Amino acid sequence: MLSSVDVSLIDWSRAQFALTAMYHWLFVPLTLGLGAIIGIMETVYYVKRDDFWRRLTQFWMKLFAINFAVGVATGLILEFEFGTNWSNYSWIVGDIFGAPLAIEGIVAFFMEATFIAVMFFGWKKVSPGFHLASTWLTALGATFSAWWILVANSWMQYPVGMEFNPETVRHEMVSFVSIALSPMAIVKFLHTVSSGWMTGAVFVVGVSSWYLLRGRQQQFARASLGVGTAFGLFACFFAMFSGDMSGVTVAEKQPMKLASFEGLYDGSEHAPFTVAGPIQIPNMLTFLATHKMTAFVPGINDILNGGYELEDGTKALSAEQKMAYGREAMASFTAFREADKAGDMAAAAVAKKDLMEKMPYFGYGHIQSREELVPPVPLLFWSFRIMVGLGGLFVLLFVALLFLIIKDRLMKFPLLLKGAVACIPLVYICSQAGWICAEVGRQPWAIQDLLPVSAAVSGIQTASVQITFFLFLLLFTVLLVVEIRIMLQAIRKGPDMQ
């Protein structure tokens, strides 16, 4: 129960994991985006056999390599934290959660590591076709890696394909296909990858705009800007499409998260979408959440109080009812263990049957009050609006740039080029805001409805987590500063187009 856990340990463990994840996520989107863009650029070189496109590709590959190297370092630390800070979590669900991570490490990462060597060092050693294939396979490997990471994360958001074994005290996989192809995994993958493409496009467009403003490498900058703008506009529209799919899935599987995004406390069949403050779009939230013009969207109070009708025709349980069922499930689990130890198979069978019936609410047995079930609404409300607002800004940026490129009037609008440069840090803020929505919105759950963070944390000293938090903060900050410095040096030097 929560009372037996040091609350400061939970907070510091969460803070350390959040720190590592947010630093890691500074590098992953650019890897996904630049990987696809350099693939497109090298494809143009392969078709045209124009050496200009080869040198252009090589420049962006150099920036890709710098970013990739630092991203790997932070990602490795992130996975180790599951064993150090969240050992209870790893024990209870490691058989399930570990499977996609193992596939990611053995297959996807191996694929990246193999072909990235050919991509960088094979220009004069392999045929142009084989080199092009290596470039695309490197980008595909990064995307494939993201798929398995997101499968694992999506299972935490929507746990499927498993069954609790009271004899081993572990959740065990019963359907790998259900886990790998869950609706949450599919929409999260599509939205996350498209946001990575958008990040790469904004980065390429911003750097290219800087060259144009400085009057340097004009042909290179215009070509890069054209590719980045067209790809970025595609990425933005794909992110909007996948974001819409994600909204429907979240509304169905994680209604508390959706209600927190909107600051919606009392549900409605015609729920409005709040832009900011008193500005609302009538009925928009209902349509976005259900794709229907009339459908009940529960608010925070409705979810806590229960009583509203679910899609299957049953009534939603209140928080207190779920907590009571959770404690009954815990009591049945204890009774099963005692009966099994005593060899009373009849009593064990009865206790196990009751446990399995109440298992969907087992995690609620750790919850002490209904207030714990509500994530931080203001943080989620504004993070969601930052994400959506900046996404809309990038659409406008790409549309304006594409129009001016077609009209050959780009240099007459230097303010727009300066805005493109300024969008580089903004796209990272947009990406981080999206992950805040996804992860903070799930709180207090490590695994939605099954395992709260209070029961997932390791039984270690708070001081050890505090010390490593600040060590990681220092290490990651140094890595970030070094990466930015090397990136800026490479950009200032510019491409070798001779």
CA distance 52 to 217: 12
CA distance 134 to 96: 32
Average pLDDT over residues 262-282: 91
How far is the first Cα of the chain from the last one, in angstroms, to the nearest whole number? 67
- The answer to whether 187 and 218 are in contact (CB under 8 A) is no
Residue 265 binned pLDDT confidence (cut-offs 50, 70, 90): very high
Residues 6+ apart with CB under 8 A from 347: 335, 339
Tokens of 210: 């800087």
pTM of the model: 0.92
**How many alpha carbons fall within 13 Å on the CB side of residue 82?**
17
Amino acid 4: pLDDT: 53
Long-range contacts of 181-186 (CB under 8 A, 24+ apart): 182/151, 182/154, 182/155, 182/158, 183/158, 183/249, 183/253, 184/154, 184/155, 184/157, 184/158, 184/249, 184/253, 185/150, 185/151, 185/154, 185/155
Amino acid 352: pLDDT: 93
- The answer to whether 175 and 127 are in contact (CB under 8 A) is no
User: Dihedral, CA atoms, 303, 5, 89, 433, nearest 10 degrees?
Assistant: 60
- The answer to whether 246 and 219 are in contact (CB under 8 A) is no
Amino acid 94: pLDDT: 84
Residues 6+ apart with CB under 8 A from 289: 247, 248, 251, 258, 271, 295, 297
- pLDDT score of 3 more than 90: no
- The answer to whether 290 and 281 are in contact (CB under 8 A) is no
| pLDDT one-digit tens code per residue, 62-113 | 999 999 888 877 777 887 888 888 988 988 888 888 888 888 877 777 777 7
Can you tell me which residue has the tokens 């300024």? 422
Average pLDDT over residues 400-418: 95
- The answer to whether 198 and 234 are in contact (CB under 8 A) is no
Average pLDDT over residues 384-413: 95
| Residue positions counted in the chain | 498
Average pLDDT over residues 361-379: 94
CA 308 to chain centre: 31
CA distance 200 to 155: 27
Tokens of 121: 């060092």
- The answer to whether 284 and 472 are in contact (CB under 8 A) is no
